[in-house]
Amino acid sequence: MRILGIESSCDETAAAVVENGASVLSSVVASQMDTHSKYGGVVPELASREHLRAITPAVREALERAGTRLPDLSAIAATVGPGLVGSLLVGLTYAKSLSFATGIPLIAVNHIEGHIHAVILDGLREGRPIELPAMALVVSGGHTHLFEVREGFTYRLLGKTRDDAAGEAFDKVAKLLGFGYPGGPVIDLLAPFGNPAAVPFTFARMKGNALDFSFSGLKTAVLRWVEARDMDAEIAVRRALGRANARPTTEDWLAATPPRTLDLLASFQRAIIKELLARAASAADRVGARALIVSGGVACNTGLRAAAASAGLPYPVYFPSPGLSTDNAAMIAAAAFPKLERGEFAGLDVLAEANLALA
């Protein structure tokens, strides 16, 4: 059974064909990074327009590469939320139109469930299905959530961020320091060149749910640290570098970043990693998880991957393979497969929901 997945919740237009929820026949991602990077973040109006431009070629290419014609499809799956509503609408409306024209059933997928299934899909592809219940830490530019993943793919929310998402903290700190957007990849690249113990960031104890996250205090601490030092000149140099060159190399960034700032980046990244892993481990203990799944854009972070591998946790920790870490449509098609088996189809009246919750 082949499912065409369509994803357009943020700034990637993606289409993929996945067979039996386990085999990726094609996965096409049209990134809008170059459109948005000069504005220091995703501009919703531009994103919708780019999705409109990219959606038809992306779907065609996904079908072509998979050697699949429309009648071969068992379902068409599209992301219905959460995300930018104007962006979601493009992919969802396209999916609805295809479904209406062909009579192929439509499946509505939550983007967060997609990120979790990116990792489950890797397990199936490699013939080592992930044992449930699992704890899923979803960390992206919009989310920092802990979900228990139960048998039959039902979910229970155990904790979430009360303010910024972890990826957002990476992006804001990078922007403040002149590293441009998105910030996670650059900080990840430069952190190994600094001393992670140089700046002692601490987290306030959380009142209420001990499994909730908060990153706004850390962001403010970085801001104070920067304000207390004269950093305007080096920040201006990096902004100029970002303007002059769409993709500066590690060497370019290093030449524009003094050791003190590298120490700050390393310390900031380590603080986030510690916070993420500590709460994920407590949540996993609480439900007796047999695996920890880490997914979403921040799961690309090499420091986070290394820390998880050396944390000595009593269950395996799984990250998505590189192509499935950031937004893609294979994860949407994979998440739709159990729904197809259950006959959980969406009507053509299903709506895009910017703040759709998973549980």
- Which positions lie near ligand KG4, rule CB under 6 A? 10, 140-142, 167, 170-171, 182-185, 188, 296-298, 300-301, 326-327
CB-wise, 76 or 299, nearer to ligand KG4? 299
Rounded to whole angstroms, the Cα distance separating 135 from 317 reads 9
CB-wise, 157 or 237, nearer to Zn ion? 157
- Report in angstroms how near the CB of residue 69 gets to ligand KG4 at its nearest: 30
Q: Is 307 left (phi over 0), alpha (psi -120 to 50) or beta?
A: alpha
Instruction: Give the single-character DSSP code of 79.
Output: E
CB-wise, 86 or 296, nearer to ligand KG4? 296
- Report in angstroms how near the CB of residue 123 gets to ligand KG4 at its nearest: 19
CB-wise, 5 or 105, nearer to ligand KG4? 5
Q: Which partner, ligand KG4, Zn ion, none, binds residue 184 by CB below 5 to 8 Å per kind?
A: ligand KG4
CB-wise, 242 or 296, nearer to ligand KG4? 296
Q: Which partner, Zn ion, ligand KG4, none, binds residue 188 by CB below 5 to 8 Å per kind?
A: ligand KG4
Q: Convert 143-173 into a string of H (helix), E (strand) and C (coil).
A: CEEEEEEECCCEEEEEEEECCCCHHHHHHHH
Q: Which partner, ligand KG4, Zn ion, none, binds residue 105 by CB below 5 to 8 Å per kind?
A: none
CB-wise, 82 or 105, nearer to ligand KG4? 82
* H/E element, 18: strand 12-19
**Closest listed residue to residue 139, CA positions, set 272, 314, 235, 15:** 272
- Report in angstroms how near the CB of residue 143 gets to ligand KG4 at its nearest: 7
196, HSE (Cβ side, Cα atoms, 13 Å): 14
Interface residue list for Zn ion (CB under 5 A): 140, 327
- Report in angstroms how near the CB of residue 141 gets to Zn ion at its nearest: 7
Q: What is the DSSP string of 213-259?
A: B--HHHHHHHHHHHHTS--HHHHHHHHHHHHH-SS--HHHHHHT--H
Rounded to whole angstroms, the Cα distance separating 199 from 207 reads 25
Q: Is 120 left (phi over 0), alpha (psi -120 to 50) or beta?
A: alpha
**Closest listed residue to residue 120, CA positions, set 340, 313, 295:** 295
Q: Which partner, ligand KG4, Zn ion, none, binds residue 7 by CB below 5 to 8 Å per kind?
A: none
- Report in angstroms how near the CB of residue 273 gets to ligand KG4 at its nearest: 10
Counting runs of H as helices and runs of E as strands, what totals does the chain give? Answer: 13, 10
Rounded to whole angstroms, the Cα distance separating 351 from 92 reads 8
- Report in angstroms how near the CB of residue 188 gets to ligand KG4 at its nearest: 4
Rounded to whole angstroms, the Cα distance separating 159 from 286 reads 12
CB-wise, 188 or 327, nearer to Zn ion? 327
- Report in angstroms how near the CB of residue 40 gets to ligand KG4 at its nearest: 12
